[in-house]
Amino acid sequence: MSRPRAIWAIAAALTLTACSGTVPTSPDSSTHPNGSAKTSPSSAAKPKAGPLKTIKDPKVDLTDADGNKVGRHPDIDIVSLAAQAVGDQLYVDLQVAGDVPKTYSTTKAEVDYLVVVEADGSGKGDYWLKLTNNKPGTWVPELSDWVTTSAYEGADFPGVGKVSKTHVTFRVKLSSLGLAKHLRLSAITQRINHATGEVTAQDQAPAGELYAPTDKWLTMDLPSG
């Protein structure tokens, strides 16, 4: 494998107000002296939200690249993967068993949190949403678009990727995922020896062949309009 750099969890760790700060407030009305209703100019309809979807994963099931059981690394031990489309944004929450460090240098290990996205039944991973660490210890989001073979990292990432305790969360524009109407998602976490490139521990949800979509993947139909 090359080095790819829950339901309530999204509500708690990736709320619309916390991540985007652009969620419209409920319309409010005031009354003119003549008694007619006046709608605030700032009022707007809330974005249309699709259903919240989630899949769960057993704890303490980490392996190395050869499938051998390895020791505990709670910060990459996947507990659940959840996703929801709200308006023109996709929100994804990857929860792990232990807190993810706020900073973590690659001099200790490279750590990758990867969400693989299949669009419209293509049969492959069309897009990768990834959060990975760098030498200073910062977490850097990246979108890999395998349809156009483009990559958007750091400030070029079309949204937000961050860590908060046991949650790794993403918000990304649906237009960056080809405006697909049907998505399937899986999650992969890895701990990599930065000097040798060897995968020393990894987890995936659901279990199965890496990057090969199945009916066990998190499946969602996106709202129209």
Flag whether 58 is in a domain.
yes
- Note the pLDDT of residue 88: 94
**Domain membership flag for residue 63:** yes
Residue 129 belongs to domain with CATH number: 2.60.40
pLDDT at res. 44: 66
Q: What local confidence, expressed as pLDDT, does residue 208 receive?
A: 87
> Looking at the 3D structure of the chain, how many domains does it have?
1
User: Is residue 104 situated within a structural domain?
Assistant: yes
63-106 residue pLDDT tens: 999 999 998 899 999 999 999 999 999 999 999 999 999 999 99
Domain assignment of residue 120, yes or no: yes
CA–CA distance from 196 to each of 1, 112, 145, 151, 177 (Å)?
A: 13, 15, 26, 24, 32
- The 10s digit of each residue's pLDDT in 35-48 is 444 444 454 678 88
- Cα separation, 175 vs 186, in Å, equals 20
Give me the domain span that covers residue 188: 7-15+49-221
pLDDT at 4: 40
Domain-located, residue 121: yes
First to last CA, the chain: 38
Q: Which of 139, 136, 142, 78 is closest to 108 using CA atoms? A: 136
Q: 170 forms bridges with which residues in the sheet?
A: 92, 161
Residue 197 resides in a domain: yes
- Residue-wise pLDDT for 213-222, tens only, equals 999 999 999 8
Instruction: With respect to residue 102, please indicate whether it lies within any of the assigned structural domains.
Output: yes
105 falls within a domain:
yes
* DSSP helix/strand/coil, 162: strand
